[in-house]
């Protein structure tokens, strides 16, 4: 059901891009919209992982430096039947983690130093399994594609104010400039939340211990509220929990489902692995 939902939402987002392109320049505008989206997707596919890792000063970590992390990841990739990702540490006391990379063979998992210091082994396994589920389910590719289409919608909607042709239009360029970015953001957030639920379920299935991730999420949420990361909002969807202060973004525009709902779902799964 979630997969069908994501397909429908991506289709809606793509349709929105075409509509905005049409408002900007009719047939030519649609072509421009599709070319712009393709170019942005190409750039994101090849370079987004290196950009985000540099953004957070992530450094590669060796097995000698983080033996427990390596042991956990090695065990879980064997269960998930995916290649070993590159491992990075972010210099932040706030616990958090994300996965990036264009595919299973070029993937990376990054964790903060705070995560390694705060989580016990079971909780660490739950977090890492969540990130590996994102890699296995190709969520990194999906989120990259969605983010670039949404960005193209926003960019073109701004152009519509200056270049849009309102003749015989049911909706004005000004309307498009206001409505399209909000709609694109809402669709992007809905897809992101859906993939987080799927990754939580994937973690529970991989470890056989949904309570471990539930406990980790509660710790992560508490620390994120007490000490938010200095994170770029454009990358917030990548992290296992929203790295920004809860008060800075309305729930409607949150990239993540409420922690309470995620924990509730995980605890309902507990009986399936006991």
Q: What DSSP letter does each residue of 131-165 carry, written as one string?
A: HHHHHHTTHHHHHHHHHHHHHHHHHHHHHHHHH--
> Quick check: is 131 catalytic?
yes
| Residues paired with 112 in a beta bridge | 90
DSSP 109: E
pLDDT in tens, 201-220: 999 999 999 999 999 999 99
Helices and strands, number each (H, E), in the chain: 8, 4
Catalytic residue, from 123, 131, 196, 211: name it.
131
Question: HSE (CB half, 13 Å, CA atoms) of 66?
Answer: 23
Task: Tell me what the mean pLDDT of segment 37-49 comes to.
Answer: 70
80 has a pLDDT exceeding 70: yes
Whose CA is closest to 110, among 243, 257, 263?
243
Task: Tell me what the mean pLDDT of segment 99-122 comes to.
Answer: 94
pLDDT value of residue 160: 63
pLDDT value of residue 3: 59
pLDDT value of residue 29: 65
Q: Provide the whole-model pTM.
A: 0.80
pLDDT value of residue 1: 47
pLDDT value of residue 52: 87
- DSSP-derived secondary structure for 35-88: HHHHHHHHHHHHHHHHHHHHHTT-EE--TTT-HHHHHHHHHHHHHHT-PPPEEE
Backbone angles phi, psi at 47, to 5 degrees: -125, -10
pLDDT value of residue 194: 87
148 has a pLDDT exceeding 90: no
Dihedral (CA of 81, 59, 138, 44) sign:
negative
2 has a pLDDT exceeding 90: no
């Amino acid at each position: 059901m979630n997969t069908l939902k994501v397909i429908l939402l991506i289709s809606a987002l793509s349709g929105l891009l075409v509509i905005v392109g049409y408002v900007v320049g009719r047939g030519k505008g649609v072509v421009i919209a599709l070319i712009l989206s393709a170019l942005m997707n190409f750039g994101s596919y090849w370079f987004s992982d290196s950009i985000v890792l540099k953004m957070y000063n992530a450094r590669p970590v060796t097995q000698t430096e983080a033996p427990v992390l390596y042991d956990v990841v090695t065990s879980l990739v064997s269960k998930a039947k995916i290649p070993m990702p590159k491992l990075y540490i972010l210099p932040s006391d706030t616990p958090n983690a994300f996965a990036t990379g264009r595919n299973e063979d070029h993937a990376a998992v990054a964790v903060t130093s705070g995560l390694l210091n705060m989580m016990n082994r079971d909780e660490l396994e739950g977090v890492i399994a969540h990130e590996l589920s994102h890699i296995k389910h190709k969520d990194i590719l999906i989120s990259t594609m969605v983010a670039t289409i949404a960005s193209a919608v926003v960019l073109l909607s701004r152009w519509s104010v200056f270049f849009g042709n309102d003749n015989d239009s049911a909706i004005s360029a000004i309307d498009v400039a206001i409505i399209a970015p909000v709609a694109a953001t809402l669709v992007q957030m809905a897809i992101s939340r859906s993939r987080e639920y799927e990754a939580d379920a994937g973690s529970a299935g991989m470890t056989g211990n949904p309570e471990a991730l539930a406990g980790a999420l509660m710790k992560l949420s508490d620390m994120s509220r007490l000490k938010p990361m200095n994170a770029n909002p454009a990358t917030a969807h990548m992290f296992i929990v929203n790295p920004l202060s809860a008060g800075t973004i309305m729930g409607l525009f949150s990239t993540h489902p409420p922690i309470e709902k995620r924990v509730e779902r995980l605890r309902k799964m507990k009986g399936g692995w006991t």
